[in-house]
Structure 1
Amino acid sequence: MTMHSQGPIVIAAGGTGGHLFPGQALAQELRRRGRHIVLITDERVQRFDALFPGADIFSVPSATPNDRGIVGLVKALPAIISGVAQAFAILGRVKPSVVIGFGGYPTLPPLIAAVLRGVPACVHEQNAVLGRVNRLMTPFVHAIASTFSAPKYLRARDGAKLALTGNPVRDAVMAHAAAPYVVPDEGGRIELLVFGGSQGARVMSDVVPGALARLAPGLRGRLHVVQQARSEDIDQVRGKYLDAGISVELKSFFDDMPARIAASHLVIGRSGASTIAELSVIGRPSILVPLPHSLDNDQKANAQKLQAAGAAIMIEQKDFTEESLAARLQELLAEPSTLANVARAALRQGAPDAVRRLADLVEALGSGEFKAHLEDKTLSDETGPSGPLLFSLEDC
């Protein structure tokens, strides 16, 4: 395929917020640079098309194997092959300079189509563990952008392609980047934010209200809780808080979540990649409860990274009970200086320049500069001779 260095940039992402949000952040930065964006995803795109204004949006079929192993893959193959054919035709029409995939099985057809057409291709891994599709595609793509310097399952032979960019966050998050953390006044209101990802989490509704009801009355009376809950759970959860005398605001979805994070003294939530990135860029302490059934335990790996840096507290779901959470909260909320220390540690883990680094990488791929960069660059002392490239276009 003829090189189109100024052609559109194709973003391929699964239909969940965890994949689309970093894609949205990249699209916002590239649009500021005057680049045209094409989004390829699955049928869920109708829920997210407002996130990519001005982009050409295409939906192609794909499938996630329901069964692990060869049987599940065989069942998914017809949809994937159909998606590859459709994506191949789309790329032929739009003539992109680069295709970048953000994970999830909907990214597989456009990435395969890019390889077949000879279009420079890249994957971005948000988690500490390479996802299934990214793991499958790393031998064939030109670059692997990563949040972490050593994602699990990265093959040694693909290590030279790794570029440490961080996980980009949306403009709405950057508007609150490094917002000062103000510890609760003695006897003053404590802002607690509880959410379970873009779809909410039943376990939060089951455990958190009862845990807060177990706190000492003086502490309980200072709480103001903002909680995301499933629509069908809201009345029951509200009743629990009213019985405990706790002030609460409940919704099934908050469209101003970055502002809510910035306003909080403590966050209780899952540990998906986007949540980790937003907590770190804003700089807020958190209790993280990894989704126990996520593929390859990627959420647990994410939470462990933050906990090891003193930037969060991880409680596995099997240990996430009213009793254990109440004990931890009583300890944390009684020592505001501890919360402040965790907030500072979280901020140190943030990568507010991630979107710039990723956009630099994508543009370098489109112009052919990234390959030369890999061949010629002497790695800096910061990463060491075997570390990833800390990528910036200025280095090319």
Structure 2
Amino acid sequence: MEFRTVTAPLVLLSAGGTGGHLFPAESLANALKASGVRVVLVTDKRANAYAGSFPAEEIIEIPSATPSGRSVLQMAKAAFLLGKGILKAIPVIRRLKPAAAVGFGGYPTVPPILAASFLGVPTVIHEANGVLGRANRLLARRASLIATGFEATKGVPADVSGQRVHSGNPIRPPVLEAAKIAYPALSQDSRVKLLVFGGSQGARVMSDIVPPAIALLPTEIRARLSICQQAREEDLQRVRETYRKLDVACEVEPFFKDLPRRIADAHLVISRSGASTVAELSVIGRPSILVPLPGSLDQDQAANAKTLADIGAAIVLTQVEFTPERLASEIQGLLTEPERLTRAAASAKSAGISDAAERLAEAVLKLALTTKNGIKS
């Protein structure tokens, strides 16, 4: 579906707060631009700080807030900022006259998507997680189309009138490159590459649990390990020192710019189960031990992890179960039966959707072409 004219349509994308929302939006933007569609990004102050490389002809900041806490004053302040954002978004949308508006979850998407809906613009919400988030639940009844990263997404209101499509989660180009790498050969005697990470900042729990678990492994298994681990700055020294004392080859850093490639090089990944992580593990095709982030109101990471556990691609441990003893037992069991890891890698790969951005772009463009835009000049 190509648009290569002077009057090429414009699609407004709204994402903010975290890379988990912004990166899928960036992937969709690239797919839309490949079809000759113009793109504008509406975001909040937090995401605008690192949205400089976003492929949009314009980046617009709209105020927003997340209603949280029990304080009436805090809730009132958040509602005021959301209302202020809607009022600011209305003239922006009148000026841009987008053919469609797409939101990627989180409260920064609420003002522009609601404003677009009020003005008669076809609206799309994309839910990356296995459970519809609170902001998307708020927008669901006004959405013309609900796109989901997982086929069985929970929490979609029963009375929504919009269309639904399972697009998958749009993937970054480095992940697509890493997906070309075959699962590394593994035997009972070969070197084993273990990758450990816990999100963009590194989870403290990984530094607390993984090194002691490695210490509990038999010497012959430890001797085979090569560990690449993400850790917070304040945890780096103790994690490195533990592995040094155990004589385990390691690379411990606060951040890895080439994480997709490191996932591809790994025989086993230990991580949280955010939507982007689960999507990347699937597209690249790597076995994992997943520890969903506890305490989430929606339990979205648990739902994400379950999609891989159900097909034998991952072992899921709650944070309570994630102890050095349990983790050591799971690692030892996998490494003494390497064929389990090979099967899990294949299962993960079978669930990957590498063309999610193109699928979503096609759905958005179809909606834009078949729905009359209500904005008046």
Match of 1:150 in 2: 152
Check 1:168–1:317 CA distance in 2 against 1; reply closer, same or farther (3 A cut): same
| CA shift for structure 1 position 253 | 1.3
Deviation at 1:199, TM superposition (A): 2.2
Counterpart amino acid of 2:192?
I
Cα distance, 1:54–1:147 mapped onto 2, change above 3 Å: closer
8 Å Cα contact 2:105/2:136 also seen in 1: yes
Taking the TM superposition and a 5 Å limit, the aligned residue runs for 1:276-295 are 276-295=278-297
Q: 1:246 aligns with which of 239, 245, 248?
A: 248
CA contact (8 A) 1:266 1:339 kept: yes
Query: For residues 15 and 300 of structure 2, what CA distance do their matches in structure 1 show?
Result: 18
Instruction: Provide the TM-score with structure 2 as the length reference.
Output: 0.93
Deviates more, 1:54-63 or 1:203-212: 54-63
Other structure's SS at 2:250 match: strand
1:199/1:51 Cα in 2 relative to 1: closer, same or farther (>3 Å)? farther
1:250–1:294 Cα change, 3 Å: same
Aligned-pair distance for 1:355?
1.3
Aligned counterparts, 1:88-99, within 5 A:
88-99=90-101
Q: Distance in 2 between matches of 1:115 and 1:318?
A: 43
The CA deviation at 1:242 is 0.9
Q: Retained in 2: the 8 A contact 1:311–1:342? A: yes
C-alpha distance 293-14 of structure 1, shift in aligned 2 (>3 A): farther
Match of 1:324 among 323, 326, 346: 326
Contact 2:188 2:337 in 1 (8 A): no
Unaligned runs of 5+ in 1: 372-396
After superposing the two structures, state which structure 1 stretch, 340-349 or 146-155, moved more. 146-155
Q: What RMSD in Å do the two structures reach over aligned CA positions?
A: 2.0
Cα distance per residue 1:212-234 (max 9 Å; x no partner): 11111111111111111111211
d(CA) in 2 for partners of 1:333, 1:288: 17
1:183–1:336 CA contact under 8 A, matched in 2: no
Say if 2:178 is the partner of 1:193: no
Tell me which of 49, 55, 64 is aligned to 2:51: 49
Instruction: State the one-letter code of the partner of 1:88.
Output: I
Give the match for residue 387 of structure 1. Answer: none
Within 2, Cα distance between the matches of 1:82 and 1:263? 47
* Deviations 1:322-379, CA, capped at 9 Å, x for gaps: 11101110111121100000001111111112111100011112212699xxxxxxxx
Pairs within 5 Å for 1:211-226: 211-226=213-228
| Contact 1:188-1:222 at 8 Å conserved across structures | yes
Deviates more, 1:106-115 or 1:181-190: 181-190
Unaligned 5+ runs, structure 2: 1-5
**Structure 2 CA distance, aligned partners of 1:254 and 1:89?**
41
SS of residue paired to 1:192: strand
Aligned 8 A contact 2:195 2:262 in 1: yes
- 1:205 aligns with 207
Q: CA deviation at 1:88?
A: 1.6
SS of structure 2 residue aligned to 1:158: coil
Q: Distance in 1 between matches of 2:356 and 2:277?
A: 15
Letter of the 1:364 counterpart? K
What corresponds to 1:101 in structure 2? 103
Among candidates 153, 176, 179, match of residue 177 of structure 1: 179
Q: Does the 8 A contact of 1:42 with 1:61 survive in 2?
A: yes
Distance across 1 between alignment mates of 2:143 and 2:156: 13
2:339 matched to 1:337?
A: yes
1:366-381 correspondence to structure 2 within 5 Å: 366-368=368-370
Letter of the structure 2 residue corresponding to residue 291 of structure 1: L
**Residue of 334, 338, 348 corresponding to 1:346:** 348
**What percent of counterpart residues are identical?**
47
- CA deviation string 1:34-79 (max 9, x = no partner): 2222111111124422441344112211111122698764331111
- Partner Cα distance (1:62, 1:5) in 2: 31
SS at match of 2:13: strand
What's the counterpart of residue 265 of structure 2? Answer: 263
Cα distance change, pair 97–68 in 1 and its aligned pair in 2 (3 A):
farther
Q: Secondary structure at 1:237's aligned position in 2?
A: helix
Whether the 8 Å contact between 1:19 and 1:103 is mirrored in structure 2 is yes
Of the structure 1 ranges 254-263 and 150-159, higher mean CA displacement relative to structure 2 is found in: 150-159
Name the SS for the 1:193 alignment partner: strand
Partner residue, 2:307: 305
* 1:178 and 1:281 in contact (8 A); partners too: no
Query: What's the CA shift for 1:151?
Result: 1.7
- Quick one: distance in 2 between partners of 1:338 and 1:349? 17
Which range is displaced more, 120-129 or 61-70?
61-70
**Secondary structure of the corresponding residue to residue 320 of structure 2:** helix
Per-residue deviation, residues 164-197 of structure 1 (Å, max 9, x unmatched): 1111111111112253112324422211111111
- Map Cα deviations across residues 228-268 of structure 1 (whole Å, 9 max, x no partner): 11112111211111111111112211111111111110000
User: SS of the counterpart of 2:64?
Assistant: coil
Which residue pairs with 1:139 in the alignment?
141
Q: Distance in 1 between matches of 2:168 and 2:237?
A: 39
| In structure 2, C-alpha distance between the alignment counterparts of 1:105 and 1:72, rounded to whole Å | 15
> Any conservation in 1 of the 2:184–2:265 contact (CA below 8 Å)?
no
Q: Which amino acid aligns with 2:232?
A: R
CA contact (8 A) 1:311 1:349 kept: no
2:316 corresponds to 1:314: yes
Q: Go from structure 1 to structure 2 and tell me whether the alpha carbon gap of 1:142 and 1:262 turns closer, same or farther (over 3 Å shift).
A: same
Distance in 1 of aligned mates of 2:289 and 2:132: 24
1:116 aligns with 2:83: no
